[in-house]
C-alpha cells in the first residue's frame, strides 16, 4: 500500500531538513526524500550546505587562517614559532569529521522528531484527488509515496562554463576545491564571487599562487561600493590574491597535469597555466527531472520555481523553498523559508522578510551586510545619510590586531530609519546580527546611538557609525 504523509519534502538541505523537522514538530506526518551521496557513496543528509558548502568551507577557512596567523602574525604578540608546517591530510580529516558530525546529526534529529527519511531521487509522478504521488528511485529500488502537501527543496548546482567539463581533479567546482590533497602551486579561479574569494583565500593562505579571473568590470558588484573597494585592497595588497576583472574567458585547455586558460582583457589576449582550476561562476536552481510536467508545476526558463511571498507555487499544496526559488542562495534564507512553509501548512502565518536577510563573505577581513547599498539608494533616488566608523579607532580591534575595515550605516535622510548596514572587518559575521535585529524592528540610527554597547567591543563600531549618521562621532 502507498505510504501517505501530510508533508513530503524533496531535498534534505538546510531548507528541506528544517522544513521537515518544523512540520513534524507541528504534529504533521512527514517524509523527507534526499539523494545526496558523499565521496564514499553513502547517503548523507544536509544538502550542499553541510556536505560541500557552508560547513566544510568554514572549517577550511578557519584552519588556513590559523596557519596564516601562526606563520605571520604571532611574532608581533611575542610568540615565536619555528619550523611551522601544514599537514593537509589532517586538515581535510578535521573538515570531514566536522561534516560527518553534522550530517549524522540530521539523521538523529529526524528520528527524534519522527520524520521518515528515504534515500533516493524524488519526482512528481501524478496528481491525486488528495495530493500528489511522489516516485522515489534509489538504484533498482522504486517506491511511490503520497503527500497531501509537497515542499520542493532541491537546492542548486554549480553553473557550468560552457564546453568545460568538471572532473574535480584538474578542473574543480566547490566539491574539488574543498579537498585538494596537496597545496596547488598555481591555482586559477574563474569568478570572483563568494566561492572564488573564500576558496581562493584558503589556498592562498596555505601557499598557492592564486589568480582570480572575473568577467564583470567591477569587483564584487553586489556589495556596497566602498566595501568592495576596501575588500579589493585587502585581498590584493595584504593577502596577495591576483584579481583581474573585466576578463573574457576565450578557452580552457586541459593538459595531463595542468590547465591553460586563455582570456582577453581590455588590452590583449593572455594565457596562464595553472595546476588546478576552480570554476565558481554562480549556481543554478536544481529543478530539472523532478516530474514537473506530470503535475503542471511551473518552472521558469532559468530553472527557478516561481513562488509567492508564502512560497506557494502555482499548484495547491505544493511549496518551494531555498536555492530553487527567488532570493539569495543562502542557507539561513532556505531554513527560514522551511519554517515559514511548515507553519503555513499547519494553518499558522509563516513569513520571511527577504529585505533583512544578512549576507556574509567569510574572507579576512570578513564582509557582512544587510539591507540596501549606497549605489542602489542613489539609483532609486532615495535621500540618505551615512555614518562610517573605521575599526582602526576601535580599542578591541587594536587588541585583536585586526584594524582594517569599517562599519557603514545608511539611514533615511528624513525618517532616520536604518536602510542598510555594511561591515568589512573582524567578526563582521557576528556583528551584522545587531543590524538585522535593528532593521527587523524598524529601528532608526538614533535608536542604536542611544543603546549602550560594551567597552571595549567591536560592536562599539556599530554604535559609533549610528552616532555618525547624525554627525556625532565620539571617537573620530
Ligand atoms: P541544498 O543545500 O542544495 O540541498 C538540496 C538537497 O536536495 C541536496 O541534498 C540534493 O542532493 C537534494 N535533491 C535535489 N534534487 C532531489 C530530488 N529530485 N530528489 C531527492 N533529493 C534531491 N550559504 C550560507 O548561508 N552561508 C555560507 O557560508 C555558505 N557557504 C557556501 C559555500 C559553498 C562552497 C557553497 C557551494 C554554498 C555555500 N552556501 C552558503 C550556500 C548554501 O549552501 C545554499 O544556499 C544552501 O545549501 C541551500 O539550501 P537548500 O536546502 O535550498 O538546497
Ligand atoms: P557568485 O554569484 O557569488 O559569483 C560568481 C562570479 O562569477 C560573479 O562575480 C560573476 O560575475 C562571475 N562570472 C560569471 N560568469 C563568468 C565567466 N564566464 N567568467 C568569469 N567570471 C564569471 O557565485 P559563486 O561564487 O559560484 O557562489 C554561488 C553562490 O553560493 C553565492 O552566490 C552564494 O549565494 C552561495 N555562497 C554563499 C557563501 C556565503 O554565504 N558565505 C559562500 C559560498 C557560496
At residue 47, the pLDDT reads 98
- CATH code at 3-158+284-355: 3.50.50.60
Counting ligand 2 atoms within 8 A of each CB, the residue from 189, 191, 196, 325 with the most, and so the one to mutate, is 191
Question: Residue 152, SS3?
Answer: strand
Pick the ligand that lies closest to the CA of residue 331: 1
DSSP assignment string, 254-277: E-SS-EEEEEE-SS-EEEEEESEE
CB of 222 closer than 6 angstroms to any ligand 2 atom: no
CATH of 171-281, one of 3.40.50.300, 3.90.1150.10, 3.40.228.10, 3.50.50.60: 3.50.50.60
C-alpha of residue 376 to centroid of ligand 2, in Å:
20
Q: For the domain with range 365-469, which CATH number is right: 2.60.40.1180, 3.40.50.10320, 3.30.390.30, 3.30.420.40? A: 3.30.390.30
Q: What is the DSSP letter of 303?
A: S
pTM, two decimals, is 0.97
The CA 99 to ligand 2 mean position distance, Å, reads 22
Angstrom distances, CA of residue 223 to CA of 187, 220, 336, 405, 424 = 25, 6, 23, 14, 11
- Judged by its nearest atom, the ligand closest to the C-alpha of residue 52 is 1
For the chain, residues classed under CATH 3.30.390.30 are: 365-469
Q: Specify the domain boundaries for CATH 3.50.50.60 within the chain.
A: 3-158+284-355, 171-281
Strand-strand pairing, 186-190 and 209-213: parallel
Residue 267 has a pLDDT of 86
* Burial (0-12, 13-18, 19+ Cβ within 10 Å), 114: exposed
pLDDT at position 1 is 77
Query: Which pLDDT value is given to residue 215?
Result: 98
Looking at ligand 2, which residue's alpha carbon is closest to its atom 26? 282
| CB within 8 Å of 98: residues ≥ 6 apart | 55, 56, 59
Does the CB atom of residue 338 touch ligand 1 within 6 A?
no
61, 250, 282: which to mutate for ligand 2, most atoms within 8 A of CB?
Answer: 282
Q: Say which ligand is closest to the CA of 46.
A: 1
Q: CA-to-CA distance for 149 and 295, rounded, in angstroms? A: 13
Specify the DSSP element, H or E, that contains 19. Answer: helix 16-25
* Residue numbers of the chain with a pLDDT score lower than 50: none
Cβ(285) – ligand 1 distance below 6 Å: no
286 in Cβ contact with 324 (< 8 Å): yes
Instruction: Report residue 317: phi and psi, to 5°.
Output: 80, 0
Q: Quick one: angle between helices 54-68 and 88-112, nearest 10?
A: 150
- The per-residue pLDDT for 266 is 86
Residues designated catalytic = 455
Amino acid at each position: 500500500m502507498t505510504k501517505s504523509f501530510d508533508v513530503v519534502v524533496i531535498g534534505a538541505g538546510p531548507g528541506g531538513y528544517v522544513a521537515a523537522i518544523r512540520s513534524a514538530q507541528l504534529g504533521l506526518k512527514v517524509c523527507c526524500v534526499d539523494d545526496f551521496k558523499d565521496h564514499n557513496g553513502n547517503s548523507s543528509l544536509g544538502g550542499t550546505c553541510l556536505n560541500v558548502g557552508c560547513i566544510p568551507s568554514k572549517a577550511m577557512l578557519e584552519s588556513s587562517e590559523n596557519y596564516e596567523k601562526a606563520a605571520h602574525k604571532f611574532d608581533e604578540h611575542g610568540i615565536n614559532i619555528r619550523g611551522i608546517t601544514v599537514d593537509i591530510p589532517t586538515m581535510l580529516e578535521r573538515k570531514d569529521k566536522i561534516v560527518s558530525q553534522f550530517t549524522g546529526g540530521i539523521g538523529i534529529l529526524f528520528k527524534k522528531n519522527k520524520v521518515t527519511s528515504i534515500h533516493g531521487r524524488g519526482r512528481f509522478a501524478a496528481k491525486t484527488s488528495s495530493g500528489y504521488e511522489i516516485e522515489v528511485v534509489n538504484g533498482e529500488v522504486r517506491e511511490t509515496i503520497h503527500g497531501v502537501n509537497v515542499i520542493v527543496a532541491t537546492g542548486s548546482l554549480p553553473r557550468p562554463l560552457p564546453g568545460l567539463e568538471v572532473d574535480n581533479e584538474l578542473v574543480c567546482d566547490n566539491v574539488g576545491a574543498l579537498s585538494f590533497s596537496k597545496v596547488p602551486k598555481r591555482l586559477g579561479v574563474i569568478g570572483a564571487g563568494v566561492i572564488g574569494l573564500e576558496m581562493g583565500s584558503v589556498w592562498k593562505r596555505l601557499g598557492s599562487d592564486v589568480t582570480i579571473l572575473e568577467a564583470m568590470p567591477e569587483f564584487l558588484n553586489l556589495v556596497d561600493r566602498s566595501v568592495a573597494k576596501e575588500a579589493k585592497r585587502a585581498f590584493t595588497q595584504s593577502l596577495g590574491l591576483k584579481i583581474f576583472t573585466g576578463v573574457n574567458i576565450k578557452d580552457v585547455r586541459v593538459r595531463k597535469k595542468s590547465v591553460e586558460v586563455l582570456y582577453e582583457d581590455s588590452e590583449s589576449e593572455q594565457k596562464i597555466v595553472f595546476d588546478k582550476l576552480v570554476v565558481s561562476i554562480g549556481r543554478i536552481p536544481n529543478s530539472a527531472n523532478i516530474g514537473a510536467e506530470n503535475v503542471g508545476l511551473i518552472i521558469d526558463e532559468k530553472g527557478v520555481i516561481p513562488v509567492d511571498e508564502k512560497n506557494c507555487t502555482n499548484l495547491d499544496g505544493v511549496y518551494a523553498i531555498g536555492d530553487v526559488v527567488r532570493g539569495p542562495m543562502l542557507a539561513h534564507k532556505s531554513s527560514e523559508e522551511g519554517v515559514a512553509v511548515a507553519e503555513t501548512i499547519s494553518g499558522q502565518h509563516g513569513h520571511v522578510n527577504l529585505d533583512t536577510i544578512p549576507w556574509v563573505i567569510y574572507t579576512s577581513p570578513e564582509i557582512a551586510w544587510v539591507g540596501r547599498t549606497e549605489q542602489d539608494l542613489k539609483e532609486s533616488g532615495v535621500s540618505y545619510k551615512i555614518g562610517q566608523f573605521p575599526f582602526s579607532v576601535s580599542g578591541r580591534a587594536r587588541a585583536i590586531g585586526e584594524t582594517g575595515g569599517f562599519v557603514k550605516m545608511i539611514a533615511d535622510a528624513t525618517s532616520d530609519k536604518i536602510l542598510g548596514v555594511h561591515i568589512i572587518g573582524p567578526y563582521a559575521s557576528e556583528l551584522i546580527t545587531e543590524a538585522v535585529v535593528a532593521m527587523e524592528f524598524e529601528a532608526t540610527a538614533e535608536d542604536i546611538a542611544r543603546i549602550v554597547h560594551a567597552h571595549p567591543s567591536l560592536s562599539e563600531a556599530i554604535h559609533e557609525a549610528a552616532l555618525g549618521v547624525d554627525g556625532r562621532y565620539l571617537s573620530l
